[in-house]
Chain A
Amino acid sequence: MSAPRPALETATMVRAGEVSAVDVLEHHLAVIDAGEESVHAFNLVLADAARDRARAVDASVAAGDDPGPLAGVPVALKDNLCTRGVPTTCSSRILDGWRPPYDATVVTRLVDAGAVVIGKTNMDEFAMGSSTETSAFGATRNPHDTSRVPGGSSGGSAAAVAAGFAPLALGSDTGGSIRQPAALCGVVGMKPTYGTVSRYGLVAFASSLDQIGPFAHTVADAALLFDVIGGHDPLDSTSLNRPTPRVLTVLDDGVDGMTVGVLTEFLDGVDADVAARVHQAAEALAAAGARIEEVSVPEVALGLSAYYLIAPGEASSNLARYDGVRYGLRVEAEDTVAMNTATRSEGFGAEVKRRIMLGTYVLSAGYMDAYYNQALKVRTRIIEGFATAYTRCDVLLGPTAPTTAFALGAKVDDPLTMYLSDVCTIPSNLAGHPAISVPFGTGDDGLPVGVQLLGPALSEGTLFQVAAVVEAAAPALPTPRLTTGAPS
């Protein structure tokens, strides 16, 4: 098959009337029809609503109007992004039947930019997981090898892009949930600086860490999507009220004169074939004019432990709202506390229960100082460690995940081993910094490897600039066998 048509090109053609949004959509619906049974990327495909929307985009072009920078581009949404009147499940039984009364800000911005929402993607339940296996609706499979996981928690969004079901997707990243599945599925995935993308309408997991970000086949398409969704939103009180970096315009600026630090802690314990790809990416950046240094940020080694105290703590508070009173599932019982307990016990899966209990424990009297408050101080130390590194380096380079995609079922019964999948992605969330995963060839098993670029707060422009150079030097990836046909 030919490579998928970039979203940038599709939007340009739709805006010029050279291809119809309806034809673009029908192509993608056909690819979904052919491949979805083996991938299970979606909780819900919105074929009818998307057709209505595509016709409206075409009508707008025919009337001489400009539908916007994403004109006619299908976009898949992680199923923790609220869509008015459309089921939003977080892949949990506890939100059974819920139809949000409002759209997330990112959804409004996509529609205003001319995009066509094609479906809601599968995820780990409430975004808690690294493999999409904790979904109440069954696992998503990696399009490159359907016996492997796609990563998680935004595994459905990553797999949807990798399989050609949609050229763009949105996910959320609390500890790596965009970048790790992007790496495992061979696509680009990016976590923005905390506060640059509105969280209004993103179902909360760990509010001080959660950020929405783009998935795409190319760095340029991810930049296009980031430029559309970013920017201040008065509906999110943590949204930064300052100019958001624009990234699409800097992609050709190169890395000449930049310093790239290879983060040694991130290479500890990663598979040798993954580490080899990181070194190869560093060589490519050197060849393009960057200075390469080895950099140590010892504090990041504490990130995993700190994260698994902070994120569950916040989650235990955020998920207290699922009580069977206002929306979703209710399991009837004789009094309200019994109803709350029955509803939550039946509605939540094992991983969500584990994290709620862990969070409740570390926030409880007698343990809060030893665990939660210590973790908040470690967070300060990690921020200081990165700040020191960024006095010498423009960006840092490392692997996104320690391994390529692992087998379905391999880690799901061993929470701590699963948590280790996030060891290289968590520090950016704790620091609030942006980071991007770019596909860079394959491991010894032939499955995709992602390399990760990290930068200080609001360095998105630099990150995309460097990512474009990495992408240009990356070895080609095999085409997922599930993808069929060429774009219409």
Chain B
Amino acid sequence: MAEPARLTREDVAHVAALARLHLSEDELDLFTGQLAEVLDHAADVASLDLAGVGPTAHAMAVTNVLRTDEPRPCLDRDEVLGQAPAVEDHRFRVPRILGEAP
């Protein structure tokens, strides 16, 4: 398999945005170098010819793990909500998620 192009500073900025992380200019420089080094090390994996080899997502895969469909106690609502930074009317409260109305 062809090796992908080397990781750039723009790639890192893009990935940070996807992962909801804000990086300073210095952090962008530092992480670009460090992550590129790790990916260079992974070139031995990226360049292998593994056609015909199946992927393993779980080494000890178990399938169809079901239980009988019976109601049972769940976590206490107030105890769970008690851990939240902000709560209103028994719900998690967040800042606005859409822009201001015109």
Contact = CB atoms under 8 A, between A and B. Distances in A.
Interface of A: 98-99, 101-102, 193-195, 208, 234, 237-238, 240-241, 302, 304-306, 308-309, 316, 320, 323-330, 332-342, 344-345, 348, 350, 353-354, 356-358, 360-361, 364, 366-367, 369-371, 373-381, 383, 415-416, 419, 430-433, 457
Nearest to B46: A370
B47 to A, nearest CB: 9
A377 B50 contact: yes
Contact of A101 (B35, B48, B65, B76): B76
A99 B83 contact: yes
B101 interface: no
Interface in B47-73: 48, 50, 53-60, 62, 65, 67
A130 to B, nearest CB: 14
B38 A357 contact: no
Contacts, number: 181
Contacts of B29: none
B55 A332 contact: no
B60 A373 contact: no
B102 interface: no
13 contacts: A238-B65, A302-B45, A309-B42, A342-B22, A344-B19, A350-B27, A353-B23, A354-B31, A360-B15, A361-B7, A374-B46, A381-B53, A419-B38
Contacts of A329: 85
A326 B60 CA distance: 32
Contact of A432 (B35, B45, B48, B59): B59
Given A237-B65, A309-B45, A345-B21, A379 B92 contact: no
A379 B37 contact: no
Q: How large is the interface on B (under 10, 10 to 19, 20 to 34, 35 or more residues)?
A: 35 or more
Given A371-B46, A376-B57, A377-B53, A357 B75 contact: no
Interface string B8-27: 00011001101111110001
B15 A380 contact: no
Interface of A is mostly: helix
A357 B79 contact: no
A195 B59 CA distance: 10
Contacts of B3: 370
A99 B76 CA distance: 13
Given A194-B60, A326-B83, A102 B19 contact: no
A330 B85 contact: yes
A102 B75 contact: yes
Contacts of A101: 75-76, 79-80, 83
Interface string B79-98: 11001111000001011110
A211 to B, nearest CB: 10
A193 B59 CA distance: 10
Contact of B94 (A99, A336, A348): A336
A350 B49 CA distance: 34
Given A99-B83, A353-B23, A376-B55, 4 more contacts: A101-B79, A302-B44, A341-B22, A357-B15
A375 B21 CA distance: 25
Contacts of A98: 83
Contacts of B55: 373, 376-377, 379-380
Contacts of B86: 330
B56 A383 contact: yes
B84 A371 contact: no
A415 B33 CA distance: 11
A132 B50 CA distance: 36
A336 B75 contact: no
A379 B59 contact: yes
B85 A378 contact: no
Contacts of B11: 361
Nearest to A432: B59
B44 to A, nearest CB: 5
Contacts of A366: 4
Which of B31, B57, B60, B83 has the largest number of chain A CB atoms within 10 A? B60
Contacts of B42: 305-306, 308-309, 371, 375
Nearest to A238: B62
A309 B44 CA distance: 12
Contact of B19 (A99, A208, A334, A360): A360
Given A305-B41, A374-B50, A238 B58 contact: yes
Given A238-B62, A306-B45, A376 B56 contact: yes
A371 B3 CA distance: 9
A325 B94 contact: yes
Contact of B92 (A194, A325, A344, A345): A325
B59 A383 contact: yes
A340 B19 CA distance: 10
A308 B38 contact: yes
A380 B92 contact: no
